[in-house]
Amino acid sequence: MAIEQIKMPQLGESVTEGTISKWLVSVGDKVNKYDPLAEVMTDKVNAEVPSSFSGTIKELIAGEGDTLAVGEIICTIEIEGGNAEEAPAADAAASEAASSASVTPAPAAEEGSKARYSPAVLKLAQENNIDLSQVKGSGAGGRITRKDLKQVIESGNIPQASAQNEAPKEAVKVDAASAKPAAQTQPEPQVQPAAPAPSVPVAAGDIEIPVTGVRKAIAANMLRSKHEAPHAWTMVEVDVTNLVEYRNGLKNDFKKKEGFNLTFFAFFVKAVAQALKEFPQINSMWAGEKIIQKKDINISIAVATDDALFVPVIKNADEKTIKGIGREINELALKVRTGKLRAEEMQGGTFTVNNTGSFGSVQSMGIINYPQAAILQVESIVKRPVVMNNGMIAVRDMVNLCLSLDHRVLDGLVCGRFLARVKEILENTSKETTSIY
């Protein structure tokens, strides 16, 4: 008999840790190679971790809700015959399950005389001023894990790091490089100490809901966006009467022919993609000493579940037809709601369009999807009396388009022209002028 280890895989290029949301096996269960062992949640994707071996579950080292760095051991499996040749399958199986980048464990063992720590461990040590050289690790090769540090913090016996012996800040860059993070054009922000939890009185009958990893990631990204990007906001109203008549006239035949619904949102995304091509300044990002104007037009779309928000990306949206965009919207939304969205399907977005109108909203101020420079909220299409050019009053289908912008990157003039162009495209969408194919 031999004992083999299953480690936390890297479920995405810039992912450095994951949370065990649910164990699918128990100690003593027999599993086959590639059988799912656990559901893991990161800030980018949910995925199942498959077994790299056939055998019996020996120990579940991580508990549900535990967050571990990439490469940390989550469980052990007892295999017959000790066939070590199966070990390399761990990374390939996890990568295949997540349809993501290849698995690269973050090393934290000794290399020569210098210890290396995972980003998660280093951050926690810096926040609590812990001298890592005084902590005994329980991981492979004496590696220090987040669980080790949490035990030290809970014990109250914290070995304090002096100015000469504090946790090496440069280790963040070294270890992050080993985890193959996504290329960054902007300088990395300095890690800020975690804010103390607010003291909220809890009365009888109140319900305490634990904050999930996805909700923490959403909170961190939204806070960073509001803290770093000076938000400005503008809105235009658009007469989409012709668009509504055009879409309603062909939606039934389209559904029978294509097998999915043709939504109004596909027309809006197409119009935005076309306008971004004409106003490339909007398709930019702040990078400290420079602004990066992105070549590709990749539209992020916000898709909500009951307790989270995801932003899958329609790549090269300007090159796609309305039908093609509609198909991608349908497929990406389905993947989000069934937990099958892959990490790479949320990467590379350059501008976000949010369909707030699906909830009945008529006016809203979106928070920019960092590090993008703007987000457009498409509100509900409502019938309203409108004064026409001839002075007559008519009932028209109207929609508000609300744009939030990063005022470091964009100014009102270019944003006003961009919105005016989107408005023009939509108001001139009709059977006579627009093809969905």
Helix (H) or strand (E) holding 374: strand 374-378
Largest CA distance in the chain: 88
Is the distance from CB of 42 to CB of 12 less than 8 angstroms?
yes
Quote the radius of gyration of the chain (alpha carbons, Å): 25
Q: What tokens does 287 get?
A: 């990078």
**Class of residue 330 by CB neighbours under 10 A (exposed 0-12, middle 13-18, buried 19+):** middle
The neighbour count for residue 153, using CB atoms within 10 Å, is 15
Is the distance from CB of 16 to CB of 120 less than 8 angstroms?
yes
93 Cβ contact partners less than 8 Å away, ≥ 6 residues apart = 33, 34, 50, 51, 52
Written as one letter, the residue type at 421 is R
Residue written as token pair 């980003």: 119
Q: Where are the alpha helices (DSSP H) in 46-115?
A: 89-98
Candidates 253, 296, 307, 411; catalytic one: 411
Interior/surface letters 352-386, b for 16+ CB within 10 angstroms, e for the rest: bbbbbbeeebeebebbbbbbbbbbbbbbbbeeeee
Candidates 227, 253, 296, 407; catalytic one: 407
Beta pairing class for 55-60 and 73-79: antiparallel
Q: Is 411 a catalytic residue?
A: yes
**Class of residue 286 by CB neighbours under 10 A (exposed 0-12, middle 13-18, buried 19+):** buried
Is the distance from CB of 313 to CB of 347 less than 8 angstroms?
yes
Q: Is 227 a catalytic residue?
A: no
Helix (H) or strand (E) holding 2: strand 2-7
* Residues noted as catalytic: 407, 411
